[in-house]
Each structure stands twice: as structure tokens, then as C-alpha cells.
Homo-oligomer: A and B are copies of this chain.
Amino acid sequence: MNKKIYILDSTLRDGAQGQGISFSLEDKIKICKCLDDLGIDFIEAGNPGSNPKDLELFKSMKNIKLNHAKLVAFGSTRRAGTKAEDDKNLKDLLDAGVDTIVLFGKSWDFQVKDILKTTLEENLAMIYDSIKFLVDKGKKVFFDSEHFFDGFKSSEEYALETLRIAKEAGAEVVVLCDTNGGTLPSEISKIVSKTNKVLGDNLGIHCHNDMGMAVANSVMAVEEGASHIQGTFIGIGERCGNANLSTILPTLICKYNYELNAGKSLDKLTKISRYISEISNITLSDDTPYVGASAFAHKGGMHIDAVAKDPKSYEHIKPELVGNKRRFLVSEVSGKSTIWKEVQKIFPNIKKDSEEVKIITDKLKELEFDGYQFEGAEGTVELVMRKVIGKYEPFFKLNHFKIIGEQPSLKGTFSSTALINITVDGKTEITAAEGDGPVNALDKALRKALEVFYPQLRSVRLVDYKVRVLDSESNTGAKVRVLIESTDGVEKWSNVGVSKDIIEASWIALVDSIEYKLIKDIERKVRTYF
């Protein structure tokens, strides 16, 4: 089967409707880059009509080159009783400045009459006029047929008529939406098959997960003729979420052998899925299909024995295909060759069977067990390797730091102060700084002290700071993982620290980040000599 399938990711639009999700502009840009890297075809980047902040993203993305992905804007058909050319929402869609627009409209007669409170005819006109308006302005339009399946069950004729009129107005793809997520897989099959017979190709599918069937429903629709799939990463979205693209992509590629642009980069799937969940501040459940930490983890002794004989005995695909790893939960065999590959990047002469690779593997495992996560914390991984291989000397010695926070403070508001005492080459520097919060104060004090000895640190600044509470069930005494991203204006690097104390976790990551920068500078100098 070599059917070509197109993927539209709506993490930034429908995904952002999920409870607790709120992306900053920077987060959104990072997600766009990730999705492009994975080979996604279309990125639904926002709804400029309902959320003016979304326009910022479209503006910012104009200066960022994507390899393959196309940004699309999402919005509604014109309001009842108005003209398309006067509609503010349609105008906002044009302002997004993208070539492709996803326009949604109603296909369920009940929704038209009881919710929109307009006539069935006017709704058809709304669909036609809005699409026509955009097409006449040179835009490519995908029509999201909201509640299509509920509509089809209520009035097959009317639901199909909304699609027909959309195509007539120039919509390139009509997307069948199971907006409420209540349609069964066998119903999806029958309805898509019938729609395909009546309307022909260029059908899309958009499923919600209210019965836990969004992924199954999406692939059932593809079997019956859909060639455009909408979903979100990790399945975030309103209520129970949307169809999870991190599950759909490998299923279509590995099980059906369909042709997807993401096929070439499927081995990045695990890394990118985990990265997006970090940015979304969602804990990616270990049992997430394909990309979760336990997706290829074997616990039962009998299962482990069988997998050692032949992995296919308890694995439906090879974990490497999606960039994930097999884990035997009771033993500690996995990972050495992966880690060796990382070590080789810095120390090309190290052998796979060397003592160093073993020690690094054990050390990383120990840290992971303590709650560290190295996805996207390359800086810390490199420092662990250097420490083991002996190519590491501390740049300073901490003698003491102290942080004081009080309310009310002398200033009247809450305030945090940090005092620090360090030694470099036998010289001691004592200084202090105030900051917004204890970590900010400590960060400022540490830099202030170190800049006396290492002026190059003046160019370094933190660009991202993320806190994740681990085992949150054990209350404010739970462990926290701090991930920081730093830049010196040229490069960016990330470091991670874990502790029961947020200040200690931040301290670990801060020190790591500074040492990483100083090592890189020395290497650059060394390189210029040879």
C-alpha cells in the first residue's frame, strides 16, 4: 500500500484548548520547529480571530525558515446574516499571512438550528461564502466539518450537502470531524466509506478521544479513504483530548506502510514527543504507546526470557523504529551502545567495551533512577562523561551560600537575598545579590562572583527555566527537577538538576550550565592553536 497521507498537527490550536495548557510565544516557536523537524506537513498554529495573541506567532514565524511544514491558520465561517467581506474573523485569518486556512463550519442540523439559531440554508451560504471569499483571495482552504458524524446520523443528506457546498466553493480538503468523540469505530468506517463514495477523494479526519478511540477511529477512516489526518501531540486537547499523532504516525508508517513525509524521521518520534510534553508541562505517562518510557519495558520474568530469545515474542515493533528503547525492568543491560555513541562524539577513541563507557552508563542510570531526565539536557550528559573520563576540573570551589527570604521585608514586599563565598585559584570572592525569588538571587550572586575571574560569563544568560515536580503525590516535600537553558549569544545548551529542594536542584543546574560554557570556551581556544 503506497497511499500518500498528509498530517495536520493542531497541538498549538486544539491542543491549547486542553485543561492546564498554556503556551508562551517561545514555546510555540519551539513546537513549530520540532514538528517541522519530524516532517509534519501542516501546523495549525492558531485561531487569530478568537485569540489575538495568536497573530504574534504568525508574525514571528515569518522570520523562521521551516524545511517542509506549512503554517496554517484556523477560524470560523462568517456569522449568520453578514457578508464575508465584512467579517472580522475572516479578515483576521487573512492577516495571519499564510497560504492555507482551515475553516470550520457546522454540519449537524441540530447545531445549526438550536445553537447557531439560524436556518439550514443560511448555514450553507455561510460555508460557501466564507470559503469562496478566501479562495478568491488566493488561499488554499481545508474545510473542518464540525460534528460531521453526529450530523450524518441525524440527517445524512444535510451533512453531505455541507461538504458538497464546501467543495463547490473551492475547499481542497473536507475534514470529517468527530467533535464530541462519541462515534464508534465501526460507525466511522461505514460513514467515511459512504462519504467517500459520494464525494470522492480528499477527505480528512479529525477525532476526539472521549471514548478512548480517537486513534483507532482515525486509522479506520484512513482505511475507508481519508488521506488527511488531524491530531495533536501526546493527544492534548479539550476534554479527553484529540487523536494522538505520536501513536497515529508510527501505526500508519509501520503497520500500513503508507507514505508519510514523517516516515523518514520516525526515529525522532520519541525524542520529539517527550520534548513537546516537557514544553507543555505535561507528564508523559510511561505507558504511552510507542514513545512512553515503558512502551517496550518488560517486567514479567517469562516475558524477559522470551524477549531475550526473540524480541518479537512480546514486542509488536522494533523500538528503534520510533527512537525508543527496550528496557528490562529487573536487569541493567540496556543502553551501553547508545551511550557509547554519545561518548564517541566527544572522545572518538573510546572503545565500546572500555571501563569508562560502563561507568558512564551506570552513572547515568543511577541519576535517571534519582529523577534526572536527559532528553534535551545534553550539557549535563557531556559533563557526566567528562567527569568520568577525567577531562574535567572544577572552575571554582563553593565555600558557602545562604539565602534569606522574608515577608514583610525591609522593602515592604517579599524579597529574597543570596550571599555567596567562592574560591578560584586560591582567591576568595564574597558577594551578595537581591532577586525575584531565591533562585534568581542565587543565580545573580553566583555570576557576580564568577565574573571577577571569568569575564566571558558576562555574555551568558538564561533563556529558559522549567520546574517539574516529581512524585507530586508526596506533597511539598516531593523531588523537583529543574531544567535550564542558557545562551552566550552564539550557542544554546541545557542542563538539569534534581533534588528534594528546589534551590539545590537549581544550584546543580546553574553550576552545570556555567561549567559547560567554560569548558566549551577552553576547547575553542585549544582548537584555534592546531
Contact = CB atoms under 8 A, between A and B. Distances in A.
A51 B181 CA distance: 40
A309 interface: yes
A107 interface: no
A499 B414 contact: yes
A197 interface: no
A295 B405 contact: no
Contacts of A287: 18-19, 209, 235-237, 239-241
A163 B12 CA distance: 49
A216 interface: yes
A501 interface: yes
Given A181-B316, A223-B186, A316-B180, A373 B22 contact: yes
Interface string A286-316: 1111101111111111110010011011111
Contacts of A247: 211-212
B24 A186 contact: no
A436 interface: yes
Nearest to A307: B115
Contacts of A398: 407
* Chain copies in complex: 2
A467 interface: yes
B473 A283 contact: yes
A465 interface: yes
A182 interface: yes
A501 B414 contact: yes
A417 to B, nearest CB: 11
Given A19-B376, A406-B401, A407-B398, A115 B306 contact: yes
A212 B244 contact: yes
Interface in A105-121: 110-111, 114-115
B251 A316 contact: no
Contacts of A185: 185, 216, 219-220
Given A185-B219, A402-B404, A437 B502 contact: yes
A403 B404 contact: yes
Interface string A167-186: 00000000000011110111
Nearest to A468: B281
A467 B467 contact: yes
A477 interface: yes
A186 B188 CA distance: 12
A503 interface: yes
Given A316-B181, A403-B406, A406-B400, A462 B436 contact: no
Centre residue among A51, A181, A313 by max chain B CB count within 10 A: A313
A478 B501 contact: no
A298 B240 contact: no
A215 to B, nearest CB: 4
Contacts of A438: 403, 405, 438, 501-503
Given A375-B19, A475-B465, A239 B297 contact: yes
A138 interface: no
21 contacts: A18-B287, A185-B219, A186-B223, A210-B295, A211-B247, A211-B316, A216-B216, A216-B217, A237-B287, A238-B303, A239-B296, A239-B297, A400-B406, A400-B407, A401-B407, A402-B404, A405-B501, A437-B502, A439-B502, A465-B469, A465-B472
7 nearest CB pairs, A to B: A182-B316, A216-B216, A462-B475, A436-B500, A437-B501, A440-B476, A212-B247
Interface of A: 17-20, 22, 24, 26, 50-51, 110-111, 114-115, 179-182, 184-186, 189, 209-213, 215-217, 219-220, 223, 235-241, 244, 247, 251, 255, 281, 283, 285-290, 292-303, 306, 309-310, 312-317, 329, 333, 373, 375-376, 398, 400-408, 414, 416, 435-440, 443, 461-473, 475-478, 480, 484, 499-504, 506-507
